[in-house]
Structure 1
Amino acid sequence: MAVKQIPLEPVLVTIRPLSLSMHEIQVELQFPPGAVEGEAVLALPAWTPGSYLVRDYARFLDRLEVSDGAGQPVPCRKLDKQRWRVEGSPRGLRVVYRLFCNDLTVRTNHVDALHAHLVGAATFLYLEDQPQRPFEVRFEGWPKGWRVATSLPRREGSYLAEDHDTLVDSPFELGTFRVHTFRSRGCEFQVAVTGPHPGDEARIVEATEAIVGAAARIFGGFPFRRYLFLLTFSPKLRGGLEHRDCTSLIADPQQMERTEGYYDLFTLIAHEFFHVWNVKRMRDTVLGPFDYRAENPTRLLWFHEGFTSFMQFDLVMKAGVVPWSWVSRKLAASWTDNTTRAGRLEQSLEEASFDAWIRHYKPTEFSPNSTVSYYDMGAMAGWMMDAELRLATGGAKGLDGLFALLWERHGDGHLTDADVRRAFHDLSGKDPQPFWSAHIQGRAPLDASSIEKAYGIRLNARAPWETLSGPDADDPDALRRARAWAGLVLQGGAPVVHNVVPGSPAARAGLGYGMEILAVDGWRTATAQEVQNRLGDAGPGDQVRILAAERGRVETFPLTLAENPQRTISITADLKATPVQKSAFQAWTGQPFPARRA
């Protein structure tokens, strides 16, 4: 006879503002009698799922006080950067602390006089040995007229989380945000918009509805009854963080003055929403349940993030909210970067995934020469895989079919690299090892042949002098300048070396990170543009003398210019594309095959 589990009493949480102008809040936790009868450890996560960086949220926590049910102080001793040992009390425990909240991102807490955005990992202490204990969260003392948006269910003024994982995965937005609601396939969707912007919110909501509809067609519906989009507008910010039943988004309001600003926002929405399936439900074994104390490295971020970065374009095109002409420029720019970035020769997608915690999220000047992005390079690998699948299925199925098959087989559960390989094999009939060896585990160059063959498009590589137009296209001086190359990357507008391409003339000359270029061939260079202009006075094979300063010393560096090896990719339609290719293109994009240029 099975023993019936007695539900655990919840932790009662009350969050109050201390000073909105100073970005301070107070969090009070009431642990019920019997929850902590002996010694226990209170902990705060060091990171938040979806953002693979140890952020040490405990640095924002102070004034920690612990008392028992009668209000008597209870001894509390800090064990390390994020854990405290407390003595038990049969009468329950009251834990109170202050949080400083002044970092406006989707991964951190921000509170001011206009709104509050609270991230679970950065906010709630929990009993380390009782992650399954539920929480009830309520808010007191906030400005009149403010309301709360969260994916958690509400009961009698409190918001209920069935366990700590759920609480961490459910951000809160407080303020006077605007709420838009729509329904799709029997599910309720809400878009809570914070902050002013010059855009059309009805257009944003309409596009969001089309995007979720495109995703539902891939997966056959939704794995929830309610979903929440938290969208905050703030100048010069952009970002998104996926959660199981919601997502947090930040966008620059000034971008909404331009049509392309809408396209960028719609693509961000599509990316985060696709994570409903890819990583929040179908996930590597280490990505839930989580170890919140330290890094949780995975070799599958190329799949979870990179392939999602490809599918974001799939969704917005099939939803009809972004045209192929815009997507093609984004794909071309990414292909250009990932065929010229020196790091492509040094790091595989598996390696980039595993080292995300210490390399992708902690970049240095050396990063372009030693790493790839599992987002961007992963998206390009996803594009190639989509093409391979289209070729094998007569254009009918691509990466969307791969995800549909994986969802059918695994649903809400763990996924392995072997599972992805098996799905690829079963759809394509091909051995997955050659593709994995070259583009997932290996460092083979990107190969456009399958893409061109599948969709009837061309990826054209052009040298800098081939991109000149008008009178410059036939001007010998302009052509010489376009051919000259030093391999120097300067930082912003200042004549400071941000990077030196390995094996380039600048590298052979001895130039390095952080040097300030004072003069080229005797000409003073006060800006980055002046450095490039003076280098262009010479041509490939010519020697120039560079005067540079480093750590207070000035030296001269002879540098022999070379012909520029960089190539820029553009995408065009093949005027000889076959009906099968055109059909595959439409199956991928949901849009007509381009008449001339892609």
Structure 2
Amino acid sequence: MKKFIRLSISLLIMMTTHTISEAAVNNVQIKYEVSFSEPQAHYADIEMTLSGLAQKAVDLKMPVWTPGSYLVREFAKNLEGFSAEAKGKPVEFVKTRKNIWHINIQGLSSIKVKYRIYAFEISVRTAFIDQTHAFLSTSGMFLYPDGMLKHPSTIHITPYKNWNKVSTSLEMVNNDPFTRTAPDYDILFDSPIEIGTQDVFDFKAAGVNYEVAMYGGGNYDKERLKKDMAHVIELETAVFGENPNKHYTFIVHNYNKAGGGLEHLSSTVLGMSRNSYNTEAGYQGFLSLVAHEHFHLWNVKRLRPIALGPFDYDNENYTTNLWIAEGFTAYYDNLIVHRTKLYSTENYLGILAADFNVVDNTPGTKMQPLAYASYDAWIKAYRPDENSINTGISYYNKGAVIASLLDLEIINDSNGKYSLDDVMRYMYNEYYKVRKRGYTDAEFKLALEKFAGKNLDDFYKKYINGVVPIDYNHYLNYAGYQVKDEFAGTENPTLGVKFPAAGNALKVAAVLRGSAAWVSGISVNDEIKAIDGQEVTDKKKLLDGKKVGDKVVVTVVRDGASLDIPVTLLRDTDVKYKIESVSSPSEKQLAVRKKWLSL
């Protein structure tokens, strides 16, 4: 490792920021070389060359988060071995913040920076490297010069051994798949790169070339996927009226167990269980994931809350509108698959009812307004703990529910002339294409009111900015539907605790607000051993023979010690909704139903 000179604190304090002229910035050329000397140890080697420099110093920065995933992930923690040189000699630098390296370059027109990135986190939003492939989540890989976010860069990849393919939405240079270019850093950080021997197939939909890169194998049927993915894409394009891409890349990571996705401007990364494509539930789930992440190329990547662009890569970017950006997308993903006819109407209504269940069975829905759930994503949504179920609500599930209600409201009030599709198309054209900026809370509300033809102050007060229980039947009745709670009238006792989903362990993972366990003092991490002195080993038979109002003694082990806790059993208040037709729907209700469900 080459030595570098540590600047003293006094010298650092004397530094002043050097203003870079636009002409000087325009002359700077930025190139990256990415190689893999030790992929088995999960490392990428990166060499960054800056030439045409005319300033006294440059700050190189690493983003602390990746757009689309609202958590400060501190990507700089994975960077090591930083060094800088010019003409073969070390150049002095100092780390001035957790994600900033300050380099003195006075008198130098070109410098070379080297560093390594450790990549060993399997997810759609973080980099992972081993000897089989490299997935570069670019916001956590590439340093950028402060003040040059709008500057282009070139990335050349030296693949490891038999790696022979690169899949990314970044454009090739001179038709070389291993050399790519980004017009600015927003594009670079929004363009993940898959390198390896992935199975690649392509198709065309809505006038756009699509590439699908499959890593990890799987029992997928390429021809079936081409047909059904194209159908999803064409239906989504119809919502917005155009597909703004020339080409689009799906990077799919197939693992033994996987899920989730992360949207990008012209690509997406999906996680999938490799052997689930040949089941109805698995295949439909994959198409729903495709529909969700692909819908984002409009909703959030182009039609976006005003707070989400230009991005601040150093800090949180707060918005109260993730219930639109994510929740509306979560509504459309299953609705679009239903429009392909792969979901029956009964199946689709069951999926929607499941979202109703999640909302009403989460105690936190009474505590956290939907707008706050969006704003607090940075500190709550991506950092769940044992009490999250009691303090918050998912802007995905509740946002999807709100979208369904608004869709029904608009269809009904416009006598079938408009739907939520028209709102999305209008907002995309008005704000992304015409005004070329994001929207505010008030502007999106005005658009909803424009197509509903009515004031939505009360709706927002109750369901967006408040915690009033949702009146599902009021909106479903527009389409001649109603919800039935299949648990209504039951008198099932419950402790009100959650256990780990896997296995039969009786170690408490969560205690529901207001439940018998909550009131009596059963705690998270307590291991339930017995009830009224009788040993219990099966969580499904925990309260066999008991009824609401019974006074029992629950024996738990807490911190290695046995503890007897008196508990009065309360009624299980969970709901299980089913959406069904009213007995004699009117002509207007049937017309709304037809418009809503594309019947």
User: How many Å separate the matches in 2 of 1:33 and 1:9?
Assistant: 4
Tell me, what secondary structure is at the counterpart of 1:21? helix
User: How many Å separate the matches in 2 of 1:342 and 1:509?
Assistant: 18
Offset at 1:436?
A: 0.7
Equivalent position of 1:190 in the other structure: 211
Cα–Cα, structure 1 residues 160 and 524, in superposed 2: closer, same or farther, change >3 Å?
Answer: same
Match of 2:444 among 420, 440, 449: 420
TM-score, normalization by structure 1: 0.92
Offset at 1:408?
A: 2.5
Equivalent position of 2:485 in the other structure: 461
The one-letter code of the counterpart of 1:373 is S
Cα–Cα, structure 1 residues 185 and 8, in superposed 2: closer, same or farther, change >3 Å?
Answer: farther
Tell me, what secondary structure is at the counterpart of 2:275? helix
Counterparts in 2 of 1:183-332, with a 5 A limit? 183-332=204-353
Equivalent position of 1:495 in the other structure: 506
Equivalent position of 2:365 in the other structure: 344
Cα–Cα, structure 1 residues 534 and 311, in superposed 2: closer, same or farther, change >3 Å?
Answer: closer
- Do the aligned residues in 1 keep the contact of 2:354 with 2:577 (CA within 8 Å)? yes
Offset at 1:490?
A: 2.4
Equivalent position of 2:525 in the other structure: 514
Equivalent position of 1:125 in the other structure: 143
- Do the aligned residues in 1 keep the contact of 2:159 with 2:195 (CA within 8 Å)? no
Equivalent position of 1:447 in the other structure: 471
Match of 2:59 among 34, 41, 46: 41
Offset at 1:564?
A: 2.4
Match of 1:560 among 545, 568, 572: 568
Equivalent position of 1:486 in the other structure: 495
- Do the aligned residues in 1 keep the contact of 2:335 with 2:348 (CA within 8 Å)? no
Cα–Cα, structure 1 residues 6 and 564, in superposed 2: closer, same or farther, change >3 Å?
Answer: closer
Equivalent position of 2:5 in the other structure: none
Q: How much identity, in percent, do the aligned residues show? A: 29
Tell me, what secondary structure is at the counterpart of 1:109? strand
2:593 aligned with 1:582, yes or no? no
Which deviates the most, 52-61 or 219-228? 219-228
User: How many Å separate the matches in 1 of 2:284 and 2:588?
Assistant: 29
* Cα root mean square deviation, aligned: 1.9
Equivalent position of 1:543 in the other structure: 551
2:183 aligned with 1:162, yes or no? yes
Offset at 1:4?
A: 9.7
Cα–Cα, structure 1 residues 42 and 173, in superposed 2: closer, same or farther, change >3 Å?
Answer: same
Q: Deviations over 1:428-474 (max 9, x none)?
A: 111121111011111111211233222222211121776xxxxxxxx
Equivalent position of 1:478 in the other structure: none
Tell me, what secondary structure is at the counterpart of 2:268? strand
Which deviates the most, 266-275 or 553-562? 553-562
Question: What are structure 2's unaligned runs of at least 5 residues?
Answer: 1-21
Tell me, what secondary structure is at the counterpart of 2:41? coil
User: How many Å separate the matches in 2 of 1:42 and 1:301?
Assistant: 30
- Do the aligned residues in 1 keep the contact of 2:414 with 2:453 (CA within 8 Å)? no
2:133 aligned with 1:115, yes or no? yes
- Do the aligned residues in 2 keep the contact of 1:14 with 1:27 (CA within 8 Å)? yes
Match of 2:391 among 370, 373, 379: 370
The one-letter code of the counterpart of 1:53 is L
Equivalent position of 1:596 in the other structure: none
- Do the aligned residues in 1 keep the contact of 2:239 with 2:421 (CA within 8 Å)? yes
- Do the aligned residues in 2 keep the contact of 1:465 with 1:483 (CA within 8 Å)? no
Match of 2:83 among 42, 57, 65: 65
- Do the aligned residues in 2 keep the contact of 1:464 with 1:566 (CA within 8 Å)? no
Offset at 1:121?
A: 0.5
Equivalent position of 2:69 in the other structure: 51
Q: Deviations over 1:286-306 (max 9, x none)?
A: 211111112111111011111
User: How many Å separate the matches in 2 of 1:301 and 1:134?
Assistant: 30
The one-letter code of the counterpart of 1:259 is E
Q: Deviations over 1:60-102 (max 9, x none)?
A: 110111001x111101111122111111152311011111111
Offset at 1:161?
A: 0.5
User: How many Å separate the matches in 1 of 2:290 and 2:27?
Assistant: 37
Number of aligned residue pairs: give it: 569
Equivalent position of 2:120 in the other structure: 102
Equivalent position of 2:409 in the other structure: 388
Match of 1:151 among 169, 176, 188: 169
Offset at 1:145?
A: 5.0
The one-letter code of the counterpart of 2:514 is G
User: How many Å separate the matches in 2 of 1:213 and 1:185?
Assistant: 5
Counterparts in 2 of 1:400-419, with a 5 A limit? 400-412=421-433, 413-419=437-443
TM-score, normalization by structure 2: 0.91
User: How many Å separate the matches in 2 of 1:306 and 1:258?
Assistant: 27
- Do the aligned residues in 2 keep the contact of 1:452 with 1:458 (CA within 8 Å)? yes
Offset at 1:528?
A: 2.8
